[in-house]
Structure 1
Amino acid sequence: MVLTLGGEPLHVQLSRDLDAIVRSVVESVADLAPTYAWLPREQVLHEFAAIVATTTRAFIEVVRTGEMPSAEELEPMAAAAGLRAEEGFPLSDILTAYHVGISLVFDDVVPRAGADDQETLNQVYKLLLGFLARVMEAASRGWLAASSETLREAHGARQALLDAVLGGDEARATAERVGLRLPPAYGVMALRIGAHPDEVTEGVDPAVAARRKLRRLRHALEIAQPEALASMTATTATVLVPSSATLQHPEPERIVQDMARAAGAPILAAYEAAPVAGVGEALELATDVLDVAAGLGWTTGVVRLQDVAVAYQLTRPSAATSRLAELLAPLAEQPDLLATLDALAAERLNRRRTAKALNVHVNTVNYRLNRVRDLTGLDLVDPVDTQTLLAALAARRAAQAERVTR
C-alpha cells in the first residue's frame, strides 16, 4: 500500500525535498554530536552530506515499498561508521547523528499531514523506528569492526617496539616504522600479580575471573601511562614506561597502586631505570630483584635493588652461600620455626606484625624465636646474629631455588 499525505505519495514528496533534508541534517548534527564539528568543511559538505543523502534515500525506499533495507543496502552506513572510527569518533556521536537525521525526516513529514492522515503518520513512525534500528545496527557493526582493527594495529605496533627494545634490535628504526615515539629512556617494571578473590571463589570460573582482571589491568595502565609498552598475563607483566634522559618518570608506586586498585588484586613490582639500549639488562635485574623480594615475603608495592641489596647479593652463587644456608640446618624438621623466620623477615623484624601474619599470639612468636636461638645459636636480640640469620634465610631460599631449576 502506497503511503500518501494530502493525496500525494509520501515517497515522492520526500524525494522532492531530499536536498533540503540533507542540508538540515548537516547543519544540525554538529550541535548534538560535537565531534562532527571537528570535521573539515569540505568533508562535511561532501563525504558526510553524501552518507546522509544515501541514508535518506534508503528510508524513502522503505516508505515506497514498506520493506526494510537489506544488509547490502545498509553497507554504506557500516562503511561510513568504520571511517569515523578510524578518525577517532565515538560510537555515541555516530548514533546520535542518525537519530538527528531520522528526527528531522519525521519533522519534515508531520506538517504535511491533514486531519485524515493520522494513521499514515503512525505507519511512518513505525517505519522510522524499524529503519533506525537497522541503520544503528549496521553503523555499530562497522564502527566496532574498524575499531577492533585499529586496536589490533596499535597493539601490533606496540608489541613490535617492545620486542625491539627488549631484544636490543634497531629500536629507533622500529619506532619510525610503526609510527611510535621512542623516548630516551624507560622505567622498567617486572610485576607479580596476585589472584583476585573471584579466582579462588568456589563456583566461579577462575579463567573468566582472570581474564576480567587482566582487562582491568590493561585499562588502568592505559589511563595511567598511555604510551607505556607492556606484555601481560594474569600473573606476571613487563611494563616499560617512557622517561626522560635523566631516567626520571612519574612515580612507579602510583602506577602500581592504580593497577592494583583496578584489578582488585595485590601487585608486587620491581623497578629499574635504563636508557633504551640498556632496557633488556634492566629487565633481567628487575626480574631477579622481584624474585628476591617475593622470597622475602613481599606481596605488594614497588621494590628497588637497594631495598633488597643484601639479600640479592647473598642469593648470587658464592662459597659463602652454602655455608650460610647450613646455619639453618638444625631447623630442617621444624617447619613452624622456619615459617616464623620467613614471616619475621617479611614484616621487617616487627614481632607484632609477624604474629598477626601467622595468626598467633606474639608470645608464641617470642617462644619460637627462643627455640631458634637454642637450636642454631643465633639470637635475634643480638644485631650481628640478626644480620647473620637474615642472610642465612636468603641463602637458604637461593639454594632451594637452585635445586628447583636443576
Structure 2
Amino acid sequence: MPLSDAARALALRCEPRVNELARHMARDSFEQLPGYTGLPDDVKDLEIAATARHGVRLFLRRATEPHPSPGGLRLFRERAAQRAEEGMPLHLLLRSHALGMYVLWQALREAAQPGEERALIELVDLLLQSHHSLVGAVAETYMDERSALEAEQQEQRRSLVRGFLDGTLEPGHSLSAQLGLDGPALVLAVVLEPSEPGAGPGSTGPGGADTGNAGSGRSGTGSPVTVRRRMRRIQTVLDQTFGTELLFLFDAGAGRAVVPQECEPPGDLARRLTRACGADVRVAAVPAEAPGAVPEASRTAVEIIRVARACGLSPGLHGLDDVLLEFQLSRPGPGSRRIAALLDPAAARPELLRTLRTHLAHQQDRRLTAALLGLHPNTVDNRLARLAELTGLDLVSPRGTALAIAALLLHDSGHGNDGTHGAG
C-alpha cells in the first residue's frame, strides 16, 4: 500500500541526518551490545557505519520514492558473510540490526510534529516490514556461510586425522601438539556389524561366521544416513567414555579413533556403543607408546577386527591377545599364496567353507556347529569329510587344523592372491 504524502514528507525530513544516525549507531548505540566494544575501530567506523548508512538510506528511499526498486539487501548479505567468516556471534549481528531499527524509529519520532501521528504509524509499519526481510536475509546468509566454513574445517580436520592414522602426516605436525599427542595413546577400530546373516559381502553367516572380507567396511546396518547417524553416536559415546574429544575418522560403517592418553578401554565399551547406536558393534583396541607408533597401531586394530570376524568371534571388544595365534597365522609371507590355495578346490561349495569356519570357531564341536547352521550332526560330518577329500586337509590333526585356520584367514583377506597386507 502506497504511503501518504504526509508520511513521505516526514521521511524526507530525516534525510539530512543519515550520516549522523549511522555514526550514532556505530559509535554509541551498538556499544551497549556485549562483545561489540572489542571490535577494531576500522570495522566500526568503516564497515559497520557504512552498512548502517546504507540501511537508513534504503529505508528512506522506500518511504519517499513512489516506486522504489526492489532489492538493496546485497550489501547486508555480503556483510553477514564477512561477519560469519570473522567469527562474530550471530546474536550480536542480529541485535545490532534490531538496535539500528530502534535508533531509526527514534529519529522518526523526534522528527514527527503534532498531527503527524498517522504518518508516523505508516512509517513504523514500513520499518517493521523492512526489518523482517532484512533479518531473514542476514540470518540465512550468515548460517550458509558458517555451514560452508565448518564443512571446510571439518574436511581439513578429517584429512589431517587420516594422514595421522595412516602415517602420511609429517612428523611433528602442529595437529599433534594441538591435541596433546605428545605421549602414549590408545588406538581404536570400530565396525558396525551387519544386522542380518547373509546380507552380502562382509556379512556374518550363522553362528557369527564371516562370509566375506571383514576389512571391506561394508555393512548391512541400514542406509548411508542411518550409518552416519550411528557413527556420530559412537563418537559421542567414545568422547564421554574417555573424557576427551577423540580424533575420530569414520566411513561406510567403519571408524578409527585415537585416545590422546595412556589408558585401558572399559570392558563394557562395545556394549555401550551397541546400546547407543542400536546395532552390534565390534571394537579393537591397541596401545601406541608414542605418536609415531599410532599408524602401526591403527593398522593392527583394523586387522584384529578382520581376524576376529573371520574366526567367528561374537561382536565385542577385542585385543591382540584374543586372536594372537590367528593373527600370526594370517600374516602374509612366501607361503601365503600356497596356503590360501588349499581351499581353491572347495571354492564352488560355499556351504563347505561356511561349515568349516563355524566348526573351527567353536572348538570343533560338531553338535554346536550343527545347531548353529541348522543341520544334523551327521551332515556336518559329511561336509567336513567332503572338504577333506577336496583339499587334502586333515582336520583331525593339530597341523591340519592350523593349516585350515591359516588358509581361511588368508583366503578371506585376499593375501593369498597378491601377497599384500590388506590391513584396511
Of residues 215-224 and 293-302 in structure 1, the stretch that sits farther from structure 2 once superposed is 215-224
Counterpart position of 1:274: 288
1:228 and 2:246 correspond:
yes
Question: Under a length normalisation based on structure 2, what TM-score does the superposition of the two structures give?
Answer: 0.64
Aligned pairs (5 A) from 1:4-403: 4=8, 9-12=13-16, 16-18=20-22, 21-22=25-26, 23-27=28-32, 29-30=33-34, 36=35, 41-43=37-39, 47=43, 52-66=48-62, 67=69, 68-69=71-72, 71-72=74-75, 74-84=77-87, 89=89, 91=90, 93=91, 96-97=94-95, 100-101=98-99, 104-105=102-103, 108=106, 114-117=116-119, 118-163=121-166, 166=167, 171=171, 173-175=172-174, 179-194=178-193, 209-210=223-224, 213-214=227-228, 217=231, 220-221=234-235, 224-225=238-239, 227-244=245-262, 248-251=263-266, 254=269, 257-258=272-273, 261-262=276-277, 266-275=280-289, 276-298=291-313, 300-316=315-331, 336=351, 338-343=353-358, 346=361, 358=373, 360=374, 364-369=375-380, 371=382, 391=402, 393-398=404-409, 400=411, 401-403=414-416
Structure scoring higher RCO (CA < 8 A, sep ≥ 6) equals: 2
Of residues 140-149 and 365-374 in structure 1, the stretch that sits farther from structure 2 once superposed is 365-374
Checking the alignment, whether the CA contact within 8 Å between 2:18 and 2:57 is kept in structure 1 is: no
1:149-176 CA-partner distances (Å, limit 9, x unpaired):
433444444445445xx25x762x2237
Uncovered stretches (5+) of structure 2, i.e. residues with no partner:
63-68, 201-219, 389-394, 420-424
1:261-298 CA-partner distances (Å, limit 9, x unpaired):
44x65443332112133334333433432222121124
Checking the alignment, whether the CA contact within 8 Å between 2:340 and 2:416 is kept in structure 1 is: no
Instruction: Classify 1:268/1:77 alpha carbon distance in 2 versus 1 (closer, same or farther; 3 Å).
Output: same
Checking the alignment, whether the CA contact within 8 Å between 2:342 and 2:407 is kept in structure 1 is: no
Q: CA deviation at 1:10?
A: 4.4
Separation in structure 1 between the aligned mates of residue 378 and residue 270 of structure 2, nearest angstrom: 41
Checking the alignment, whether the CA contact within 8 Å between 2:370 and 2:380 is kept in structure 1 is: no
Instruction: Classify 1:256/1:62 alpha carbon distance in 2 versus 1 (closer, same or farther; 3 Å).
Output: farther
Instruction: Classify 1:4/1:178 alpha carbon distance in 2 versus 1 (closer, same or farther; 3 Å).
Output: farther
Separation in structure 2 between the aligned mates of residue 220 and residue 48 of structure 1, nearest angstrom: 44
Instruction: Classify 1:385/1:109 alpha carbon distance in 2 versus 1 (closer, same or farther; 3 Å).
Output: farther
Separation in structure 2 between the aligned mates of residue 159 and residue 324 of structure 1, nearest angstrom: 33
- For residue 123 of structure 2, what is the amino acid of its counterpart? T
SS state of the match for residue 117, structure 2?
Answer: coil
Instruction: Classify 1:8/1:294 alpha carbon distance in 2 versus 1 (closer, same or farther; 3 Å).
Output: same
Checking the alignment, whether the CA contact within 8 Å between 2:187 and 2:287 is kept in structure 1 is: yes
Checking the alignment, whether the CA contact within 8 Å between 1:52 and 1:101 is kept in structure 2 is: no
Question: Under a length normalisation based on structure 1, what TM-score does the superposition of the two structures give?
Answer: 0.66
Checking the alignment, whether the CA contact within 8 Å between 1:222 and 1:228 is kept in structure 2 is: no
SS state of the match for residue 189, structure 1?
Answer: strand
- For residue 221 of structure 1, what is the amino acid of its counterpart? Q
- For residue 121 of structure 1, what is the amino acid of its counterpart? V
Greater percentage in helix: 1
Separation in structure 1 between the aligned mates of residue 125 and residue 400 of structure 2, nearest angstrom: 86
SS state of the match for residue 240, structure 1?
Answer: strand
Of residues 298-307 and 9-18 in structure 1, the stretch that sits farther from structure 2 once superposed is 9-18
Instruction: Classify 1:390/1:94 alpha carbon distance in 2 versus 1 (closer, same or farther; 3 Å).
Output: farther
Identity %: 19
SS state of the match for residue 140, structure 1?
Answer: helix
Checking the alignment, whether the CA contact within 8 Å between 1:328 and 1:392 is kept in structure 2 is: no
Q: CA deviation at 1:305?
A: 1.5
Instruction: Classify 1:71/1:354 alpha carbon distance in 2 versus 1 (closer, same or farther; 3 Å).
Output: farther
Separation in structure 1 between the aligned mates of residue 130 and residue 348 of structure 2, nearest angstrom: 81
